[in-house]
A and B are shown apart, each in its own frame.
Chain A
């Protein structure tokens, strides 16, 4: 299977893990990474900059209808849901929050599963609510690969535990193992 897209969901305790993953990936990494992380809705700037400090890959907060390119990281903007449309472009939405969250990991994962099917890898990291559990199941149901950070390693394990309970996930990995796993995709 050729995995072209990786979508990562996380909340409390995921920032350090995402930073670690991005710093370990080479500039030449040719998959597209989508980040759907819970964040303060009124703080629009600073997040991309903070993530970019150690990343070798360019991180973007996409505009609506922005074309999706390989080798980029797209971070869901504050206070929007992030979707992926057939035709390979992004869509944003201000629909009601889901699981008290906008961006909602479930909604982004549903959309990615529908659009990218078995070319997709879904990863759930540390987090404090259950957002993402149904989304990850949907990725699995659509033929994608599912990975969850080992709850034992998570700062807050609610999100990863919920994901594991909802789906028979393919891999439960520590952050170091996630990095190795992604590096081997190359």
Chain B
């Protein structure tokens, strides 16, 4: 399953997607994107990268399937519980002093970060006060996130994470189960605005007090990662927070100087006031 695609094939697939749909993936991280192409080949019962390219060029509606394959990376609810505790105990009290605070979940894929955030806000009695803005690259993905349906086999993991975040409560308050589906409560997202938006190229038409951008740069090469951080930085208010993945670097694009580490272990950065 690993040797379908060499470097030349990889470039040809990217070229086909770009020529057919105007989406340039050439600045995505090589190994994870190669793996997703390989999965596309397997899941669609194709035999080679040539067949994948042919399908990309001939079947216009195959694009949504490509987008889904590229977007659906696995996060998990309450990944890094200690980050969520820090957010609840240290960051939100500061954020709440603003009159109408906004939080941006940038480049959302599976919706699990968003739902974790929504639960944290509710349990902090801030769900009425704080507006969440979620951006994602495809309409399909907005639909999927809004539906809030996950595989019930994930409940055990989500619940274990959640208990490390809050040992006094149960995640089951926030979902129902139907067959093998875990259905998240729609009420969690009542104060959430969805925007189809490409973090790579567009500035967000809003200023925010906090941005969650965890484990997104790992899917980009250095130059695209830096570009997205620069773009996001424009929307973060002075004194606002920028949270990245615990194994991600703030880039060297000049943005780093605008921030001071608020909690380095959890990769929480705070924007300087001037």
Chains A and B bind each other: yes
User: CB of B81 within 8 A of chain A?
Assistant: yes
Of the candidate stretches A19-27, A30-38, A83-91, A159-167, the one touching chain B is A83-91
User: What's the nearest-Cβ distance from chain A to residue B146, in Å?
Assistant: 22
Query: Which chain A residues numbered 24 to 72 have a C-beta less than 8 Å away from chain B?
Result: 42, 44, 61-66
Query: Which chain B residues numbered 59 to 98 have a C-beta less than 8 Å away from chain A?
Result: 73-75, 79-82
- Given A42-B161, A44-B246, A83-B31, CB of A92 within 8 Å of CB of B218: yes
Q: Which one of B73, B215, B247 contacts A63 once the chains associate, using CB atoms below 8 Å?
A: B247
User: CB of A79 within 8 A of chain B?
Assistant: yes
| Bound CA–CA A38/B10 (angstroms) | 30
CB neighbours of A186 from chain B (8 A): none
User: CB of B195 within 8 A of chain A?
Assistant: no
Contact in complex: A63, B30 (CB < 8 Å): no
- When C-beta atoms are compared, the residue in chain B nearest to A77 turns out to be B247
Contact in complex: B30, A85 (CB < 8 Å): yes
Size range of the chain A interface in the assembly: 20 to 34
| Bound CA–CA A107/B38 (angstroms) | 13
Could you mark each residue 86-115 of chain A with 1 if its beta carbon is under 8 Å from any beta carbon of chain B, else 0?
A: 100001111111000000000100110110
Query: Which chain B residues numbered 235 to 250 have a C-beta less than 8 Å away from chain A?
Result: 245-249
Contact in complex: B161, A64 (CB < 8 Å): no
User: CB of B268 within 8 A of chain A?
Assistant: no
CB neighbours of B32 from chain A (8 A): 83, 91, 93, 95
Contact in complex: A93, B219 (CB < 8 Å): yes
Contact in complex: B249, A64 (CB < 8 Å): yes
| Bound CA–CA A136/B28 (angstroms) | 27
User: CB of B138 within 8 A of chain A?
Assistant: no
Q: Which one of B79, B164, B217 contacts A64 once the chains associate, using CB atoms below 8 Å?
A: B217
| Bound CA–CA A85/B222 (angstroms) | 12
Q: Which one of B30, B74, B222, B249 contacts A96 once the chains associate, using CB atoms below 8 Å?
A: B74
User: CB of B29 within 8 A of chain A?
Assistant: yes
- Given A85-B29, A85-B30, CB of A65 within 8 Å of CB of B222: yes
User: CB of B3 within 8 A of chain A?
Assistant: yes
- When C-beta atoms are compared, the residue in chain B nearest to A113 turns out to be B2
User: CB of B16 within 8 A of chain A?
Assistant: no
| Bound CA–CA A66/B218 (angstroms) | 11
- Given A42-B164, A96-B74, A141-B3, CB of A80 within 8 Å of CB of B29: no
User: CB of A138 within 8 A of chain B?
Assistant: yes
Contact in complex: B249, A65 (CB < 8 Å): yes
Given contacts A42-B164, A44-B246, A138-B3, 11 further A-B contacts (CB under 8 A): A44-B80, A63-B248, A63-B249, A64-B247, A66-B249, A80-B247, A86-B30, A91-B218, A93-B29, A93-B31, A114-B31
